[in-house]
A and B are shown apart, each in its own frame.
Chain A
Amino acid sequence: MRALAPGPARPLVQLAVVFLLVVAPLLLGDFRLFLLTEILIFGLFAASLDLLVGYTGLLSLGHAAYLGVGSYATALIAIHLTDNVFAGLAAGVASSCIVAAATGWLAVRTRGVYFLMLTLAFAQLLFTLAITWDSLTHGANGLPTPKPTLGPGDSGGALDGGTAFYYYALVAFLFGLGLLRAVVASPFGRALVGIRENESRMRSLGYATSRYKLAAFCLAGAVAGFAGSLTVQQSSFMSPSGVSFEVSALALIAVIIGGRATLVGAVLGSAFVFVIRDELSSAFNEHWRLVLGLVFIGVVYLLPRGISGLSARVGGLLTRRTERAAGEPA
């Protein structure tokens, strides 16, 4: 149990999962591979939200704003300037980081329900802006964007086709998740947990807690923007629904279903949410949200630490059983 406590993924399990992700294109059809790519990208987005919700204790209801800013920046760069993937990523990260810094500067001064309302208000503001700023966003019609390319300009190396883009997204996902994991393991990350546990004591220890919260907010916003770039690069289309409240809510549900303050849990939760959406929308049409809601309630009651908490528990049971088996004299 103790070995599993900080995060359910131990080195061996991690290696196995990465291996499975690498060979996934050989095992999955086009549709499933597209879905897996979506899950990885949304999972990274949810993990960035986990940095705020799970580690820092800041419950944001408007994280889609930063995903959306990243998406729009990438889409606009691709349409007007270059379809190079890295230019798109850079634009997405930089713009979302700037917007997160500006909104976060205000938001981190509030707490609890006020923080919740303020983040929600910012996101709704951006959503409205995306709909009404027709000349830039084409409003509700959305922006079709060219496929991204690896090479400079239009010279080739198009990330066309599911497999090539999948590997690109996988590398980006591992990079993003690795970055977040390094952050939460660092002294800075531990300070964030300290703020979640007891902010006033952190102040009395000499921490300028608002600055730490702002840094976490910017970092989470930048990673969300990174995921936003990937989202638009995959779908080749951006519309205001990508900044909607539903996106923020789904990410929050993914974090809670997966288990807070684990990062990996956010990805597992995303997989869960997306699979429910895709499997149930064929059977239930628009009612899949209702089912997701019921599942969500069930998880909150039955698994307070989410899916990753469950896997830790099962893992603990297994280790105990093996230990007992090993300890038993023949």
Chain B
Amino acid sequence: MTAGTEREDPPALELRDVTKLYGELLVLDAVSLSVDVGARHALIGPNGAGKSTLFHVITGTQRVTRGRIVFAGKEITRVQEHVRTQLGLGRTFQQTSLFDGLSVLANVELAVQQQAGVARRLFPSARRRTRVSERGRELLSLVGLGSREAIPAGALSHGQRRQLDVAVSLATEPSLVLMDEPTAGMSRDEAMAFLAMIVTLPDSLTILMVEHDMDVVFELATWISVLDAGKLIADGTPEAIRGSRAVQDAYLGEGEHLAKLFESD
């Protein structure tokens, strides 16, 4: 983390003393953390730790009360949500958010045409339109939905909806994707298939995910940050986190099953 000056090699994302108040309630308390380029960074913590709020202030659906958010060296603390997307900050949704009435391909195309700068055109050339469709199909096969392009998104299974959600997010050509509990509600098989898909994504893509499933976290993450009651209580490699006393204590309230995961042996 200390290697390299900030100017030459900025982290993918940096939070500096990010604080969020809901009225009197302190939800995020001076959280500072850094996400390295290419990391598979997991954000964990017990229920009510402030993970979702942190997620929202990074994507821009909520504003911070104090503190700064720096994305790829550029301050985005007051930047609007759609501009953050244009800068390369992508996201997937906890409640998959798709265009249910449109076909699977049309879902991805909506994202591709915006990225390709075609969206505002009333009369684009045929070549541009083909390129949009081609890129859309490419992304669908990347997430394993190549054979499903013509059916309405509303008819997909839960796991397939997640896959499409990822394809739509990747279509915005992000350098960082935020994933909000990507495997929530999935069956074991669906979750494993999803993990296998994530592993095939290029290394240049940074992933920051909020995740409840510890198996998924330890399978995938290269770095883990732990939130508890709005504070960052631990930040380190999966090995370091597994052995952390503070993390164990934080998870004790969550029941023995979870706390056990962090017992060092």
Contact = CB atoms under 8 A, between A and B. Distances in A.
Interface stretch (B20-28, B112-120, B251-259): B112-120
Given A190-B113, A203-B81, A197 B101 contact: yes
Interface string B112-148: 0111001111111000010010000000000000000
A191 B102 contact: no
B102 A197 contact: yes
A188 B81 contact: no
A327 interface: no
B245 interface: no
Contacts of B101: 197
Contacts of B114: 191, 205-207
Which of A188, A200, A206 has its CB near the most chain B CB atoms (within 10 A)?
Answer: A206
Contacts of A206: 82-83, 85-86, 114-115, 172
Contact of A186 (B100, B106, B111, B123): B123
A201 B92 CA distance: 10
B19 interface: no
A187 B99 contact: no
A191 B86 contact: no
A202 B171 CA distance: 12
A202 B114 CA distance: 10
B132 A197 contact: no
A198 interface: yes
B65 interface: no
B213 to A, nearest CB: 24
A292 interface: no
Q: Looking at chain A, what size class is its interface with the partner chain?
A: 20 to 34
A206 B91 CA distance: 11
Contacts of B110: 190-191, 194, 202, 205
A29 to B, nearest CB: 40
A205 B122 contact: no
Interface string A178-197: 00001100111011011001
B97 A198 contact: yes
Nearest to B118: A187
Contacts of B132: 187
A182 B99 contact: no
A182 B122 contact: yes
Interface string B143-174: 00000000000000000000000001001100
B234 interface: no
B122 A204 contact: no
Interface string B77-111: 00001110110000101000111111000100111
Contacts of A203: 81-82, 85
Interface string B55-81: 000010000000000000000000001
B122 A186 contact: yes
A194 B124 contact: no
Contacts of B83: 206
Contacts of B120: 187-188
Contacts of B119: 187-188, 191, 207
Contacts of B115: 206
A208 interface: yes
A191 B115 CA distance: 12
A305 to B, nearest CB: 13
Contacts of B100: 197-198
Nearest to B165: A201
A198 B107 CA distance: 11
Contacts of A207: 82, 114, 119
Nearest to B117: A187
A21 B34 CA distance: 67
Nearest to B88: A206
B180 to A, nearest CB: 11
A199 to B, nearest CB: 10
B106 to A, nearest CB: 7
A278 to B, nearest CB: 36
Which of B81, B110, B115, B172 has its CB near the most chain A CB atoms (within 10 A)?
Answer: B110
A187 B113 contact: yes
Interface string A22-50: 00000000000000000000000000000
A38 to B, nearest CB: 29
B97 A187 contact: no
Interface of A: 182-183, 186-188, 190-191, 193-194, 197-198, 200-209
26 contacts: A182-B122, A182-B123, A183-B122, A186-B121, A187-B113, A187-B120, A187-B121, A188-B120, A188-B121, A190-B106, A190-B110, A191-B114, A191-B119, A198-B97, A200-B97, A201-B93, A202-B110, A203-B85, A204-B85, A205-B114, A205-B171, A205-B172, A206-B83, A206-B115, A206-B172, A207-B119
Given A194-B102, A205-B172, 15 more contacts: A183-B122, A186-B122, A187-B124, A190-B106, A191-B114, A197-B101, A198-B99, A201-B97, A201-B98, A201-B168, A202-B110, A205-B114, A205-B171, A206-B114, A207-B119
Sorted nearest first, the 10 A-B pairs with minimum C-beta distance are A206-B85, A197-B99, A201-B97, A206-B86, A187-B113, A194-B110, A186-B122, A205-B111, A203-B82, A187-B118
